[in-house]
Chains A and B, each alone.
Chain A
Amino acid sequence: MADLFHNLILGFGVALSLTNLMLCLIGALVGTLVGVLPGIGTIATVAMLLPITFGLPPVGALIMLAGIYYGAQYGGSTTSILVNIPGEATSVVTTLDGFQMAKQGRAGPALAIAAIGSFIAGCAATVLIAVLGAPMTKIALSFGPAEYFSLMVLGLIFAVVLAKGSVLKAIAMIVFGILLSMVGADIETGASRMSFNIPELADGLEFATVAMGVFGFAEIIRNLDTGAEMDRDLVQQKITGLMPTKKDMLDSLPAIFRGTVLGSILGILPGGGAVIASFAAYTFEKRISRNPEKFGRGAIEGVAAPESANNAAAQTSFIPLLTLGIPPNAVMALMVGAMTIHGIVPGPQVMQKQPDLVWGMIVNLPLVGIWVRLLRVPYRLMFPSIVVFCAIGIYSINNSPVDVILAGAFGLVGYWLIKHEFEPAPLLLGMVLGRLMEENLRRAMLISRGDWTVFLTRPLSAALMAAAAALLVLAVLPTLRRKRDEVFVEG
């Protein structure tokens, strides 16, 4: 217990140092700035802004990146509420009631509740990370290569279940991602694999390059398809009255609390817990509400619950990353990439730098007016700027022109994927986990002397594999499929 408080105090101490606080604020601001631009999700924002942290010391860079992450997420919520375009999957549910509130001229309270809910949830989840960090690390010690492999299989299956559309296509995307991760030097022998004698490929494909291509460039090209003047159902009236009323607060506080609890639990699951968390929190609120017919017509609980849930989940999703070193979703995967670039090994010590991040949310509130104005920038001016900014960003990662061309090529790949309704998120997750999976698979086989049953004879590994198999069966079963589709239709 004493340890816990020590950690927290230390964490807040580091966080509250003026420089770090500033970095976090700047990160959150820039993150929101880019995050509210239509068609740029959280992953693309983090990938795009990655290079601007290169000049900083490691801790500062990490703090700024996390600030960017939260800022981008808040930017996504802002567009959900104001223009009915969710920035990413986790804020899809927010559009249901948030946009209705905005239509009724209550965009201010909706945005405020989203920020307040996120802030409360973020703080609570941070404490949870500190509490669970030590015991989780102990569990991590009992993980051998076989368990790691099984856990990653479970995480990938989760990603499949959560992806929209065909299960078959989602699995294919994961396998494609894993194959992409194998390009470059072999971990054990150093043999050059599938690199077609291109020297830039010898070290493997840079994750940020692929992410920027598949999410950034592809999204731009796709948006151009429908005409640059996107059909943006913009809230034209001025936003008045930012602060929620006392009744709003009383209505939403219990929802925030329930969303936080639900989000914290679901966030620990690998494979995109934040998405389920926001859907689950919304459904839960609707079910226990005394007047469920309010939902979908601008109920403030419908904004408060999912927004706090996805933030709590975003926080607790750091747990598998920090204790086991396994990124649970594509954004976390990018964070790992960033940490590696800065020479930080993901581990418990990183957790202590978490508390400050939530402060970034607060600064965003008074600036809502600016974000709204930003939404009015016409797309015909925005997209060339994004193209140039991305190109410079990719070039600066390795000072390599070939990386820029590769990102462009992956932009085309991403455009093709979108056209054929393949989800790019499982591809990225597969690519990130691929290297770790292969490493652990090879180690497990070596230790078991080539015995494939090792994944089923070690109890922990068997349990994880069974869970993965059960999930996959459930996802394919017709009844659950229908339910899953309903959830997405509702979104």
Chain B
Amino acid sequence: MSDTPTARPRQSILPGWVRGPQDFIGGLVLVAIALLALWASRDLQGMHGFTFGPGTAPRMFAVLLLGLGAAITITGIVSDGARFPHYSWRGPLFVMLAIVFFALAIRPLGLVVAGFASFLISALGTPETRWAETIIVGVCLTIGCALLFPYVLGLPMPLFPSFMVR
């Protein structure tokens, strides 16, 4: 609640005849997903006599999802429903940044650097973070993981930056 200035009036984007914005948008997104699936499976072979081709089932279920999404959208028009949900940006942004950073850094920089850095990045996700304790916990967690995964569990992964090991 502490982030995202809430000055912008709610429901201003959608026209007045949308009575359940939550369902309306939710249904539309499902329709979009179904269309994406149809587009992605467009070049797959369909029915071949009475045998299914690789494209038959995906198209079947994509059409089904299209119908369901449309039905949910219509529900959002004909009946009163929940308002458009409130999204915050800070949590999702920093948690995603931490995940992406980890994915990019684990191979070249190793577990110690990648783990500690993404710990700190995700800690930015809330304004309540107190940095002194966060850094202490982060160091402990990194050491714990560096011992747990490669040694105790025997899962192969680089620990330190590759340029240092060489």
Residues facing B in A391-444 (CB within 8 A) are: 391-392, 395-396, 399, 401-402, 404-405, 407-408, 411-412, 415-416, 419-422, 438, 441-442
Residues facing B in A372-402 (CB within 8 A) are: 380-381, 383-385, 387-389, 391-392, 395-396, 399, 401-402
- In whole angstroms, what is the CA distance A55 to B133 when docked? 33
Q: Chain B residues with Cβ under 8 A from A486's Cβ?
A: none
Which chain A residue has the least Cβ–Cβ distance from B57?
A: A438
A135 touches B (CB below 8 Å): no
Contact A55 B153 (CB under 8 A): yes
Q: Chain B residues with Cβ under 8 A from A415's Cβ?
A: 92
Q: How far is the CB of B57 from chain A (nearest CB, A)?
A: 5
Asked whether A168 and B118 contact (CB < 8 A) given A54-B155, A176-B33, A227-B2, the answer is: no
Instruction: Give the bracket for the number of chain B residues in contact with chain A.
Output: 35 or more
Q: Chain A residues with Cβ under 8 A from B85's Cβ?
A: 419-420
A-B residue pair count with CB separations less than 8 angstroms: 214
Q: Chain A residues with Cβ under 8 A from B40's Cβ?
A: 193-194, 196
Contact B69 A408 (CB under 8 A): no
- In whole angstroms, what is the CA distance A454 to B41 when docked? 27
Q: Chain B residues with Cβ under 8 A from A220's Cβ?
A: 91, 95
Q: Chain A residues with Cβ under 8 A from B96's Cβ?
A: 408, 411-412
Contact B153 A401 (CB under 8 A): no
A280 touches B (CB below 8 Å): no
Q: Chain A residues with Cβ under 8 A from B137's Cβ?
A: 381, 384-385
Contact B125 A224 (CB under 8 A): yes
A171 touches B (CB below 8 Å): yes
Q: Chain B residues with Cβ under 8 A from A420's Cβ?
A: 22-23, 25-26, 29, 85
- In whole angstroms, what is the CA distance A257 to B1 when docked? 46
Residues facing B in A138-190 (CB within 8 A) are: 166, 168-169, 171-172, 175-176, 178-179, 182, 186, 188-189
Q: How far is the CB of A193 from chain B (nearest CB, A)?
A: 6
- In whole angstroms, what is the CA distance A145 to B44 when docked? 24
B50 touches A (CB below 8 Å): yes
| 15 CB < 8 A contacts A-B | A168-B68, A179-B37, A179-B58, A196-B40, A224-B125, A225-B86, A381-B133, A383-B126, A384-B98, A384-B122, A391-B103, A396-B153, A399-B157, A420-B23, A421-B82
With A228-B126, A407-B99 known, 19 other A-B pairs at CB within 8 A are: A55-B154, A166-B75, A168-B68, A168-B71, A172-B65, A179-B34, A221-B92, A227-B1, A227-B128, A383-B125, A384-B119, A387-B119, A392-B157, A401-B106, A404-B102, A408-B95, A411-B99, A420-B85, A451-B50
Closest 4 A/B residue pairs (Cβ): A450-B50, A224-B91, A408-B99, A186-B54
